[in-house]
């Protein structure tokens, strides 16, 4: 695709988004989700299906919605609440340690910069950017596997890793699309532009997509 095609691509995805399932973390953010809740749900979501993330997040937030409340739960309790999220034991320990550190060093207030968030154990750039955009409403570009794959498939970037994709997008993606790009491409990737055998025949972006790396499609 040509760089200027991004405007029509975003507009088309916005229209199609209405027909797709909203990502679980986005729903949590929209339902009066605090930055802390966005962070916790994001941790739960890693390598976990959206329906599991939604249910696990609902269970744990029914018991604790703040760092202070979370510190009142044992690691085992957190583990049971977020099961069967992927790597739930490790995530429970991470959530517990993170909550205690927030209380000890930040008076229970989640910091609102990417660098500060990255200083917490287990928080990578994807998670930090998602908290910035969905939790704080501040500029950021959350690049997960969907965003990385689809941007390369379209031909909008040519990169080898999600981190590299983020840096390229920061230099060329219009700022008005920074916050929404993750939501749109995650939903697009989950519903149509699958990693293997994407549904190209049903895609309204077929005329602009470079289909880079696509060997089979439907």
- What predicted TM-score, i.e. pTM, was given to this entire model? 0.89
Asked whether residue 93 is domain-assigned, the answer is yes
Secondary element (H or E) of residue 137: none
Count of domains in the chain?
2
**In this structure, are residues 143 and 163 in contact, taking their beta carbons and an 8 Å threshold?**
yes
Give the domain CATH number at 149: 1.10.1670.10
**In this structure, are residues 159 and 210 in contact, taking their beta carbons and an 8 Å threshold?**
no
Q: Which two tokens stand for residue 45?
A: 């979501």
Asked whether residue 213 is domain-assigned, the answer is no
pLDDT at 33: 76
> Quick one: DSSP state of residue 93?
H
CA pair distance 90, 159, nearest whole angstrom = 30
Give the domain CATH number at 41: 1.10.340.30
Segments of the chain with pLDDT less than 70: none
Pick the catalytic residue from 4, 126, 138, 183: 126
**In this structure, are residues 130 and 38 in contact, taking their beta carbons and an 8 Å threshold?**
yes
Secondary element (H or E) of residue 183: helix 181-191
Asked whether residue 36 is domain-assigned, the answer is yes
Distance of CA 95 to the CA centre of its chain: 17
Pick the catalytic residue from 2, 104, 107, 144: 144
Asked whether residue 215 is domain-assigned, the answer is no
* One domain for residues 12 and 33: no
CA pair distance 92, 90, nearest whole angstrom = 5
Asked whether residue 186 is domain-assigned, the answer is yes
Instruction: Reply yes or no on whether 126 is catalytic.
Output: yes
What residue ranges in the chain does DSSP mark as E strands? none
**In this structure, are residues 12 and 25 in contact, taking their beta carbons and an 8 Å threshold?**
no
* One domain for residues 37 and 62: yes
* One domain for residues 58 and 12: no
Rounded to the nearest 5 degrees, what angle is found at the Cα of 144, between the Cα atoms of 23 and 83?
A: 55
Residues 33-51 have pLDDT tens digits of 799 999 999 999 999 999 9
Q: Which two tokens stand for residue 76?
A: 């085992």
Q: Which residue has the tokens 């605090």?
A: 34
Domain hosting 193: range is 3-20+141-202
Residues 72-107 have pLDDT tens digits of 999 999 999 999 999 999 999 999 999 999 999 999
pLDDT at 21: 86
pLDDT at 126: 93
Asked whether residue 208 is domain-assigned, the answer is no
Asked whether residue 211 is domain-assigned, the answer is no
- Burial readout 43-64 (b: 16 or more C-beta within 10 A, e: otherwise): bbbbebebebbbbbbeebbeeb
Domain boundary among 135, 167, 192: 135
Instruction: Reply yes or no on whether 18 is catalytic.
Output: no
CA pair distance 42, 171, nearest whole angstrom = 25
* One domain for residues 108 and 122: yes
Asked whether residue 47 is domain-assigned, the answer is yes
């Amino acid at each position: 695709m040509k760089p200027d095609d991004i405007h029509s691509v975003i507009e088309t995805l916005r229209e199609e988004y209405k027909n797709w399932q909203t990502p679980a973390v986005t729903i949590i953010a929209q339902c009066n989700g605090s930055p802390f809740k966005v962070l916790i749900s994001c941790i739960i979501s890693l390598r976990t299906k959206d329906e599991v993330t939604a249910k696990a997040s609902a269970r744990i937030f029914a018991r604790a919605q703040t760092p202070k409340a979370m510190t009142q739960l044992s690691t085992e309790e957190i583990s049971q609440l977020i099961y069967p999220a992927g790597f739930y034991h490790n995530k429970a320990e991470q959530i517990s340690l993170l909550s205690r550190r927030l209380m000890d060093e930040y008076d229970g207030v989640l910091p609102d910069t990417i660098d500060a968030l990255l200083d917490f154990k287990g928080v990578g750039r994807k998670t930090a950017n998602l908290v910035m955009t969905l939790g704080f409403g501040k500029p950021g570009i959350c690049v997960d596997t969907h965003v990385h794959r689809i941007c390369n498939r379209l031909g909008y970037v040519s990169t080898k890793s999600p981190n590299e994709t983020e840096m390229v997008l920061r230099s060329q993606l219009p700022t008005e699309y920074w916050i929404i790009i993750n939501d749109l491409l995650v939903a697009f990737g989950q519903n149509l532009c699958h990693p293997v055998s994407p549904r190209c025949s049903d895609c309204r972006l077929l005329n602009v997509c470079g289909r880079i790396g696509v060997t089979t499609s439907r």
